[in-house]
Structures are given as C-alpha cells and as structure tokens.
C-alpha cells in the first residue's frame, strides 16, 4: 500500500501518519522530519534547508525529489509507505509520477484555517520520534515532557504565529493545486483519491480514514 497524505500544516498529518503506519504496517516518509534531521546533523542539505524552513518557505524541488528518490529505494519501503508532507508542489507531484512509482491512494485531510492556527501555536513536539502534543487538547502527562521517553518537548521554530500564516499562504499557492491534480488522475483511474474532515476526535478521524482508504482501494 502506498499512500499520500495531503493537507495543510496542522491538519494532523503527523499524528494520523503514525496511526496509519501501525495500522497498515507501512513506513512513514516525512520530508519535514528528514529535513529536520538533516538540519540537526549539520549536513550540507541541512544547512541549505535551515533558513527556508524557519521562514516557512519551501525547500527547492530538486533537493526534495532527490531525498525522496533515495528514501523509497531503502529496503523498509518494500512493504509500502506513506508520504507525509510530500509532494508539496506540482513539480514534485509530476516528478513522483515520472518515477513510475504507483500510488494507491491520496488522502486529503481538510480543515479550516482558523482551526489550524489554534492547533499549531499550541503544538509541542518530541523531536526524536515526531510525537506531538497540544498544550490544551492533548497535553503530555508532565508539562513539556514526552510521555514515553521523559525527554523535553520543543515548540518548532516554524510553529510561531507569523510563520504559521506564511506556511498557510505557501500551502494555498503551491500545495492546494495538487488536490485537483490528483482528482484528475483519479478520474482516469490512475489513483484513488478521497477527502476526509480533519476536525473532530482523533479516533473518529482515524475510523473515517480507514473507511475511506478501504472504499477507495476496493474499487
Ligand atoms: P513539515 O514538517 O512537513 O510541515 O515541513 C516543515 C518544513 O520543511 C516546510 O515548511 C518546508 O520548509 C520544508 N519541507 C518539508 N517537506 C517539503 C517538501 N515536500 N517540499 C519543500 N519543502 C518541504
């Protein structure tokens, strides 16, 4: 099973990816997590990406496409994978199509902007695992501490309000057009495409996601 999770920043892609990974037994490929690891390691890719990530801009397509191309060749991807945060531009989506990698399902998580700002500004993450919490809706047991490892949680630089607004603009301009791109492919039977609401209880969203994937891939 190969899935693309599409949706604005703050739609819950990270949380839902972790669930889908376990439920479907596939690996998560988060380009955002890969870039943050590159920044942390001080690699040349990390140094190039750092400033763009902090301002909420997108990292150039060629860097991302290379990163993903290498990642999908690793052995753990054989059983399937889930793209979280990729593709984010039409050029990336076209490059993915050109690789010939067949995608089974594009799942679009839809959510209003007002909800996004509220969610992202309260988000705290455990960097090593990608686990995320919300200071009001899903707080850790102990303030600013990851429940499983006892390590500190952080607020991502790009989760500050000015950067969130910029990321939403970037999403509208560059990533939202992918919804139509995949709808057109779905109309030609090349991929299944479905939309679910990202608002509501996490368990309910998970149930809707599984039902949508089952229905889409059964066709
Ligand atoms: P995310 O964790 O997916 O929200 O990504 C954080 C940041 O990493 C984004 O705001 C971009 O600067 C960069 N990034 C992640 N994935 C991509 C991508 N597919 N294309 C370009 N930039 C990306």
88 part of the active site? yes
- How far is it, in rounded angstroms, from Cα 86 to Cα 63? 12
Return the ligand 1 atom nearest residue 9 CA: 4
Angle at 85 between CA 195 and CA 60, to 5 degrees: 135
Q: Is the CB of 12 under 6 A from ligand 1?
A: no
Residue 217 has pLDDT above 80, yes or no: no
Write down the pTM of the prediction: 0.88
- Residues 96-119, mean pLDDT to the nearest whole number: 92
Residue 109 has pLDDT above 80, yes or no: yes
Nearest-CA residue for atom 19 of ligand 1: 86
Mean pLDDT of the chain: 93
Which of 119, 165, 167, 207 is catalytic? The answer is 167
Which of 88, 119, 124, 131 is catalytic? The answer is 88
Count of CB atoms situated within 10 Å of the CB of 126: 19
Q: Is the CB of 14 under 6 A from ligand 1?
A: no
123 part of the active site? yes
């Amino acid at each position: 099973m190969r899935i693309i999770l599409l949706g604005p920043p703050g739609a819950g892609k990270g949380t839902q990816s972790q669930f889908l990974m376990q439920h479907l037994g596939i690996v998560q490929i988060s380009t955002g997590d890969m870039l943050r690891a590159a920044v942390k390691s001080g690699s040349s890719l990390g140094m190039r990406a750092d400033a763009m990530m902090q301002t909420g801009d997108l990292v150039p397509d060629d860097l991302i496409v290379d990163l993903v191309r290498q990642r999908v060749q690793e052995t753990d991807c054989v059983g399937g994978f889930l793209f979280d945060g990729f593709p984010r531009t039409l050029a990336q989506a076209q490059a993915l199509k050109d690789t010939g990698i067949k995608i089974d399902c594009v799942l679009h998580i839809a959510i209003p902007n007002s909800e996004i700002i509220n969610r992202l500004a309260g988000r705290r993450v455990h960097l090593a695992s990608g686990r995320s919490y919300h200071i009001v809706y899903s707080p850790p047991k102990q303030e600013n501490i990851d429940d499983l490892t006892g390590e500190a949680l952080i607020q991502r630089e790009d989760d500050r309000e000015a950067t969130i607004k910029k990321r939403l603009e970037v999403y509208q301009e560059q990533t939202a057009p992918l919804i139509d791109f995949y709808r057109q492919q779905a109309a030609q039977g090349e991929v299944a495409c479905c939309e679910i609401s990202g608002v509501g209880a996490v368990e309910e969203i998970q149930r809707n996601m599984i039902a949508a994937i089952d229905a889409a891939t059964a066709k």
